Amino acid sequence: MSGRVESRNGGRRVLLAHGGGGELMHRLIRDHLVPPLDNELLAPLSDGAVLPDPKGRLVITTDSYVVTPLEFPGGDIGRLAVVGTVNDLAVMGAAPVALSLGLILEEGLPLTVLDRVMASIGATAEEAGVPVVTGDTKVIERRRVEEGGNRLAADGLFINTAGLGRLRPGVRLGTDRVKPGDAILVNGPLAEHGLAVLSVRDGLEFESALRSDAAPLNSLIDRVLDTGADVKFLRDATRGGLANVLVDISESREVSIEVDERQVPVAPATRHAADLLGLDPLTVANEGKVVCVVCSESVSVALAAFRDHPLGRQAVCIGCVTGAQPPLVELRTRAGGRRIVQRPYGEELPRIC
């Protein structure tokens, strides 16, 4: 788990001086940060990295990562930091070329935690086939420790990654291409990341069968785009879940979307856990799920390509775009009713009543 489980004096920790630009910082970079990322472009450790000629149009994206706790079933903040940025590039139709890594560490963070997160970043970057080519590290002062308590506040680790990608030639993606008649696909069961993280939050802890679905989707998306299927729009369904993505599409194009709840893949264990916490699986975060809008003629080709990839085995068509007005996302419920799907209002809190 996180640094909390270690005794207050046990183990080596991040010191404020690690961020001071001196010998200590040099050692932190040399011994803890660079080895898991090792690659030729990073090796010079200059102020920036020089990339080969990209030959084509570039996509740049950036994202910051904050999660409590830092490690959770199926992943950790390091995996999220790579996956999130790689997926943002992938859904733009870009092949990731390089990532930058900005670390903000809290004084007192156990170095063992940092090492695990760095190893995870290295492994996930390798999985995604993209190097981390440059980085930066800062150390902030330790935050308040609960008075009279045994809880350490020193679990702060924040990450920013930026990603550079090369746009695939011939791919045009955007909500402006979405039209009534298009089909909506997702690549697998929803809501597992958000519930896995909640399962290890203070005060809510339960031992979950759920694992975060955090995974780099670039090779999956490549496979679909390689088929030549007429893919019109892609978006990873992260915070706000499927609901957020569908409402975005509906609002930006002023089209309606009709979703069949019976087709929406949610594992029974996920539904049970969501019920326990009073949450709607449609609004719970994913980190390895993509919503794909395709022309209706391309559905079978796209689905076959998804299902041919380990991250898309359970891909399904969950609904379609319609011209109904006003523009709404409507769910045909499992029970046979209908209801409107809206975005959640920020983080949904687990409830009991």
149 binds other proteins (CB under 8 A): yes
292 binds other proteins (CB under 8 A): no
Q: Which of 30, 66, 271, 297 is close enough to bind other proteins by CB under 8 A?
A: 271
**Which of residues 273, 285, 311, 320 is near other proteins by CB under 8 A?**
273
**69 is a site residue for other proteins (CB under 8 A):** no
Contact between 3 and other proteins (CB under 8 A)?
Answer: no
**Cα 64 to Cα 84: distance, rounded to the nearest angstrom:** 9
Q: Is the peptide bond before 54 cis (omega within 30 degrees of 0)?
A: no
- The DSSP result for 89-110, as a single string, is HHHTTEEEEEEEEEEEEETT-B
Closest CB 188 distance from other proteins, rounded Å? 7
Q: Which is nearer to other proteins, 93 or 188 (CB)?
A: 188
**Least spacing, CB of residue 241 vs other proteins, in Å:** 14
Range in contact with other proteins (rule: CB under 8 A) among 106-114, 117-125, 175-183, 330-338: 330-338
Name the residue type at position 327.
P
Does position 50 bind other proteins by CB under 8 A? no
66 in contact with other proteins (CB under 8 A): no
Query: Which range in 30-38, 39-47, 91-99, 341-349 contacts other proteins by CB under 8 A?
Result: 341-349
On whether the CB atoms of residues 264 and 203 are closer than 8 A, the answer is: no
List the structure tokens of 128: 């995604």
Give the number of residues written for the chain: 353
Among the listed residues 165, 131, 135, the one whose alpha carbon sits nearest the alpha carbon of residue 54: 165
Preceding peptide of 281 cis, ω within 30°:
no
Q: Which of residues 168-207 bind other proteins (CB under 8 A)?
A: 188-189, 199, 202-204, 206-207
101 within 8 A of 134, measured Cβ to Cβ: yes
The values of phi and psi at residue 93, to 5°, are 85, 25
> Of 15, 210, 285, 303, which one interacts with other proteins (CB under 8 A)?
210
Sole binder of other proteins in the list 277, 294, 302, 320 (CB under 8 A):
277
Alpha-carbon distance of 192 to 286, in angstroms, equals 6
- Any idea of the CA torsion for 168, 169, 171, 174, to the nearest 10 degrees? 80
Specify the residue, 17 or 180, whose C-beta has the smaller distance to other proteins. Answer: 180
Is 335 among the residues that bind other proteins (CB under 8 A)? yes
User: Can you list the positions of beta strands (E) in 46-178?
Assistant: 58-65, 71-72, 75-76, 94-106, 132-140, 157-167
Whichever of 180 and 265 has its CB closer to other proteins, that residue is 265
Helix (H) or strand (E) holding 321: strand 316-322
Region for residue 48 given its phi and psi (left: phi exceeds 0; alpha: psi -120 to 50; beta: otherwise): beta
- Of 139, 108, 143, 127, nearest to 33 (Cα)? 139
**Please, which residue, 187 or 298, has the CB nearer to other proteins?**
187
Q: Is 155 in the site for other proteins (CB under 8 A)?
A: no
The correct pick among 280, 301, 304, 307 for binding other proteins (CB under 8 A) is 280
Q: Is 275 in the site for other proteins (CB under 8 A)?
A: yes
Work out whether 348 is an interface residue with other proteins (CB under 8 A): yes
**What are the beta bridge partners of residue 140?**
106
Binder of other proteins out of 267, 295, 301, 304 (CB under 8 A): 267
Instruction: Give least dist CB 76 to other proteins, A.
Output: 20
Nearest to 312 by CA among 183, 205, 218: 218
Nearer to other proteins, 73 or 93 (CB): 73
Identify residues 309-328 at the interface with other proteins (CB under 8 A).
314, 324-326, 328
What are the strands, taking DSSP E only, across 43-131?
Answer: 58-65, 71-72, 75-76, 94-106
Q: Note the residues at the interface with other proteins (CB under 8 A).
A: 146-151, 188-189, 199, 202-204, 206-210, 262, 265-269, 271-273, 275-278, 280, 314, 324-326, 328, 330-340, 342, 345-346, 348-353
